[in-house]
Chain A
Amino acid sequence: MKRQRSEVKRIEKTEKTDGNEPLFVRSMDVASAAVVVQVCYLFNPFGIASCIAMTTSVFHNFLIAAALVAFQSGRPYVSASVLALVSMLGLYPAVLMVPIALHYATAGGNSKTPFDWTAFCSSIAVFCSVWAGALYMIVTLSGSWQFLQSTYLFFVLVPDLTPTVGVFWYFFTEVFDHFRLFFLWVFQLNIFIFVIPLALTLRRSPMMLFHILLILIAVFKPYPSVGDAVVYMALLPIWRHLYLYIRHSFLAACTMAVFAVLAPVMWKLWIQDGSANANFYFAITLAYCTAQIFLLTDLLYAELRHRIHMTHGIRVIDESGTEAKIALS
C-alpha cells in the first residue's frame, strides 16, 4: 500500500489527473481491504475443507500471513525469520524471500534509488541463519540427520505418488526409472527458475511478486493441496485498482467452481466405484492448475498495464494524436 501511495504521488506531479481516477488506489478500498481479505479467507470453501480435514496447511498459512504482515509493516528481519520457519516446514516458500529482500533493497523509493546490496544480503543472511538455527535445533533434539530423509528429501525426490491436486503424481507414475532423475530436476526447477524473470520484471513491486510467487508455489509444489490456494485467493481484494485490467476472471472463477464440485466426484468414481480411472481425476486437477495459471498471468498483465497507464495516463495518446492500442508483446 505504501508503494502504491508513492506511485500516486508521482502521477499527481505529472498533472495528468483528468479521468485517471480508476487507476488510483482509493482510500476507502485501503480501509475496507482488511475486512474483505479476512472474510475471503474465513469463508473460502477450500479453507473450510482444509480445516475439516485437519491438515497442517493451517500452520503454513498462518506463518506465511505472519511473514507478510511483518514484511508490509517494515520489519525486515522479523519477516525473514518467520519465512525461515515456513521454509523449514515446507521448503518451497523459500522463494518468497526474494520479494522480501528486494523490498528492503529498494526501500520505498522510485526507480531512481540505487539498489541497496547491503540490505538485500543482510535480509537473506538473517533468513539463512534462522533456518540453519532451526535445523541445528532439530538435529540436536532428534540426535541425527535422519529427519532429512522424511522431510526435505521427501519433497525433492518425490517417492510417494499418492494422487494430489498437483501435476507430479500422474507424470511420475509413467516415467521410466532411468529418466526419473532428469524429470525430477526439470519439475523441481520449475518453481525456482520462474522466480528470476518474475523478480526482474517486478523488482519495483515486491508485493505483487510475493502474491504471484504464492500462486506459483501452489501450482508447482510436488505435494500441493487446496489449502495452499487459500492465502493467495484471500489476498486478491487488495488489487482493487487493477480490476480494470483483469481479463479472465470469469473463466478462472468458473473453472475453480467446477473443480471444487467435480474433483471429489471424479475421485469417488475412480477409487470407490471403480468406474472411472486416473485420467478423469487428473483432467479436472489439470483444469484447476490452468485456472491458477490464468490468475497468475492476469495479475501480471494487470500490473504491467497499470504501470504504463500510470505514466501515460488512462488514455494513451501517441504522436499522431490517435489513441494507441497497448499490446503485450
Chain B
Amino acid sequence: MRSLTRSDGRPPKWLNGLRRKANALCALLYVAGLIYLACIVWPSFNDRTYFSENALLPGLVDDEFVHRERTNTFAKQLREVVQTRYGKEYGMPHDWLLEQLESIGLEAYAQNFTAFLPGISGAVEGTNIFAVMRAARAPSVESIVVAVPFRSNTLGSIGLALSLASFCREQIYWSKDLIFVFTEHETIGMQAWLSAYHRLPISSLKADPLAAHGGAIQAALALEATDGSTPFSNVDIRYNMINGQLPNLDLVNLLVKMTEKEALVPTLYMQEDPHGQDLYTEKGYWKLAKTSFKGIVAQAFSRADSGLHSVFGAYGVQAVTISPYGKGRTKSQGGWVDIGRLLEGGLRSVNNLLEKFHQSFFFYFLPSTHRYVSIGVFMPAIGLLMGPVLIKALCVWLDLNDEGESSADGDAKAKKETKSESALAVLPLITKSESALAVLPLIVIAHSCGALLYFLPYLLFNAQASISTNDQQLFQAIATIAITLPICPWIIQRNLADKDFGVPSMVVLRVVALLELALIVGVTAVLNFGIAVLVAIFVAPISTITIPFRSKIGWALNSMALVLLHPLVACCVALGVYTALTVPVPPTPSWLAQRAFEQTVDVTVGFIRDSLVYQSHLYAFFTLALFPIWMMFWTIVHHRSE
C-alpha cells in the first residue's frame, strides 16, 4: 500500500497539501458538482437511446388491431352499466366485467382485498377483476400484465382493454400468458393483486389468494387514459416506481418507438422533446433541463400516484404506464384504435423475449424521450457533491490526532510535554480515547430519536384496530415529537460536567456525523438517485460549516441554517417555494404559509401510508437516516463549552 503512506510510515505528501487547501478544495468540489449536474443534460454529454435487447424487434410487425367498433361498444356499454347502477358514484361493476371477459373466452376471476391505513377511518375494501389468456405456444411459465385502474374517467381505457383482450384471444402467436387486471382503488388494488400473485403478504393489506396464476411476469403495461375526447395527440410515458426504482430502459424505449409509429407524440412528465434542430440550442437546453429536473423530483418523491406501474418494482417486474392525452388535430389518427395498436405492438415485442429484461440500463434519468443519462455519467455528481463532506471528515480526523505531527520537513516546534515526539510521525492515534468514547451516548440518543419518530405512527395507530383518526392528529403527533426532540442534547449537556465533553469529543462527533452523512447519501444514490442528489445539494454545504462557533453571530447563523434543514421545516419550505412558483396568481404570504403547511401534512401522512401499503422507504429515510444526522449536527452547534 505504498501510495497510502510513505515507506517510513508518514502520511503521503499529497495529504499535507490537501489539508492546507481543504476549505478551498471543498468549495471548488461543491461548485464543480453543481456545474457537472447542469452539464450532463447538454446533449453532447449524453447519448441517444438505443435498443440493447435484440429479441425485442420493436415495431417490426404489422399491427393488426382494427376493432374500432368493438372498442366503442364496450366503452358505451360500460358507461351505461355504471350510470344505471351507481349513478354519480362510479362504483365498479364487477359482475359485468366478469361476464364480458368470459364471453370473450378468457378465464376471469375476482379477488377481494382489504386495506387498513392510518389517517383513514375504517378499512378500504375492494375487488380486483383479472382474466388470464393462456399462451397457445408455450406452457404458462411467463406472462405479461396489462393493467387498467377503475376510475370515473378511465371507462374508455377499460373498453379498449376489453377489445384488446378479445383481439389477443384470436391470435395464435402468444408464447407468454396475457393477464388483464382491472383494479379497484388503483394502486392499492394493484399492490393487493401483486402480493397475492407472488405470495408475499403485506401486514396492512389483506388480500385474498388468487384463483389462477400465469407464471413469472416479464413486463407490465398499464393504461390510464383520462376520458378526454379522442383523438389524442400525445402519449405520456410514466416510468417512475416506488423507492426510486426504474424499469429497464429498453421497455421505455419500446413504448416511445411504438408511440411514434402511431404518429403520436411521446412525452415525459407532459413535456415534449425539443424539436430536432432545437436540440443544441439554449431553448432546447431549458426544455431538457426542465424534464430532467422533473424526472429527478419524481424519482426522489416517488409516490404511487403516477400510475399502476409504480408498485411493480418491488417484485422485480418492469412496468410502464401509458397515458394518452391532448387534443389531436385530425380525426383519423389518435383514436382508441391507435392506442390499441400501440399496446399490441408493445405486447408483441415483449412476447419475443427469451430472457427477462437485463440488457439495458436500470439506473438512468431521461432528459428527453430520445436521450438518456446513465449511472456512469450521473454518479460522479454525487462524488463531487459529497467530496467536501469526506474531505472535511478526513481533515478533522487528522487534526484531532495531529498533536504530535510536525510539519513535513520535520523541524521542531513548541510542543506540550505530554505529546509524542516528532519521530512518531505516523498516522492517527487517539490520545484521548476517553473523550472519544464519550460521544457514544450522544450518537445512540440521536439514533434512538430517529427510531422513535419512525415507529411512532405504528405505535399510535394500530393497523388492525379501527380507531378513527384523521391526518391532522397523526401529523400533530409526529410534528410535536420531531420539534421537541432537539431539546434532548441541551438537557444532556447541562447534566454532564463540561470536562467530560471537552471540545475533542464534539470534534469526534462531527467526524462521525460527516461520515455517516456521506455513507447515507452514497448508499441512497444507488437506490434512489433523485433523493440522494437533492439531499446532497442542500445538506453538503451546511454540514461542512457546522462547527461549534465561539462567536454569537456564527452560532446564530449556523442555528438558523440547521433549522431550515430540519426535515419537516425543509419540507414545508420546499413545498412553499414550489407552490409559489407554480400558482398563476402571486399569493399572499399567509395563504402561502397555510398551503405549504397543509401540503406538508399531506406529504408526511402520505409517506407513512406509502410505507405501510407499498413498502416505500421514504419515511424511513427521513426519520431513521437523516433525522439522527441532523440531531448530531444540532448537538454540535449548540454545544456549550466553558
Contact = CB atoms under 8 A, between A and B. Distances in A.
Interface in A273-317: 273-277, 280, 294, 297, 301, 305, 314-316
A269 interface: yes
B421 A247 contact: no
In the complex, which of the residues A22, A280, A294 has the most CB atoms of chain B within 10 Å of its own CB atom? A22
B1 A294 contact: yes
Interface residues of B, number: 33
Given A251-B4, A261-B523, A297-B1, A314 B427 contact: no
Interface string A233-267: 00000000001111111110010011001100110
B303 to A, nearest CB: 18
Contacts of B245: 273, 275
A52 interface: no
Given A244-B426, A248-B4, A274-B356, A305 B420 contact: no
A325 interface: yes
A247 B523 contact: no
A247 B426 contact: yes
A250 B316 contact: no
In the complex, which of the residues B394, B397, B523 has the most CB atoms of chain A within 10 Å of its own CB atom? B523
A193 interface: no
A26 B313 CA distance: 57
A248 B421 CA distance: 20
Contact of B363 (A262, A275, A305, A316): A275
Nearest to A19: B421
B103 to A, nearest CB: 37
A323 interface: yes
A326 interface: yes
A327 interface: yes
Contacts of B424: 22, 244, 314
A250 B5 CA distance: 13
Contacts of B427: 246-250
A247 B9 contact: yes
A274 to B, nearest CB: 4
A272 interface: yes
Contacts of B429: 243-244, 246
A273 B316 contact: yes
A92 B394 CA distance: 38
Contact of A250 (B1, B9, B363, B428): B428
B497 interface: no
B34 interface: no
A54 interface: no
A231 B394 CA distance: 28
Contacts, number: 85
B423 interface: yes
Nearest to B2: A328
A314 B421 CA distance: 9
Contacts of B363: 275
A42 B100 CA distance: 64
B515 A257 contact: yes
A247 B4 contact: yes
B35 to A, nearest CB: 27
A274 B357 CA distance: 9
Contacts of A245: 9, 426
Contacts of A314: 421, 423-424
A254 B515 contact: yes
Nearest to B9: A247
A265 B526 contact: yes
Contacts of B5: 247-248
A265 B426 contact: no
Contacts of A257: 515, 519
A9 B423 CA distance: 23
B362 A275 contact: yes
A254 B9 CA distance: 20
B7 interface: yes
B527 A269 contact: yes
Given A244-B424, A245-B426, A305 B9 contact: yes
A323 B363 CA distance: 55
Contacts of A244: 420, 424, 426, 429
Contacts of A329: 7
Nearest to B422: A323
Given A244-B426, A276-B362, A258 B356 contact: no
Contact of A265 (B313, B420, B428, B523): B523
A37 B571 CA distance: 44
B519 A258 contact: yes
Contacts of B527: 265, 269
B362 A250 contact: no
Nearest to A294: B1
A250 B356 contact: no
B520 to A, nearest CB: 8
B68 interface: no
B370 interface: no
Contact of B420 (A22, A262, A274, A323): A22
A171 to B, nearest CB: 22
A279 to B, nearest CB: 12
Interface string A18-46: 01001000000000000000000000000
A261 B521 CA distance: 12
A316 B428 contact: no
B426 A327 contact: no
B48 interface: no
A326 B424 CA distance: 11
Interface string A168-205: 00000000000000000000000000000000000000
B94 interface: no
Contacts of A269: 526-527
Contact of A326 (B9, B356, B522): B9
Contact of A274 (B7, B358, B410, B422): B358
Interface in B606-635: none
A323 B5 CA distance: 19
B186 to A, nearest CB: 22
Nearest to B11: A247
Given A22-B420, A248-B427, A262-B523, A273 B313 contact: yes
A30 to B, nearest CB: 16
Contacts of B522: 258, 262
Contacts of B519: 257-258, 261
Nearest to B420: A22
Interface string A110-154: 000000000000000000000000000000000000000000000
Contacts of A328: 7-9
Interface in B513-569: 515, 519, 522-523, 526-527
A26 to B, nearest CB: 12
A130 B9 CA distance: 44
Nearest to B424: A244
Contacts of B397: 250
Given A250-B427, A315-B423, 16 more contacts: A244-B429, A245-B9, A246-B426, A246-B429, A247-B9, A247-B427, A257-B515, A262-B522, A262-B523, A265-B523, A272-B316, A273-B313, A305-B9, A314-B421, A326-B8, A326-B9
Q: 8 smallest A-B Cβ distances: which pairs?
A: A275-B362, A274-B316, A327-B7, A325-B8, A315-B423, A247-B427, A327-B8, A247-B5
5 contacts: A250-B427, A265-B527, A275-B363, A314-B424, A328-B8
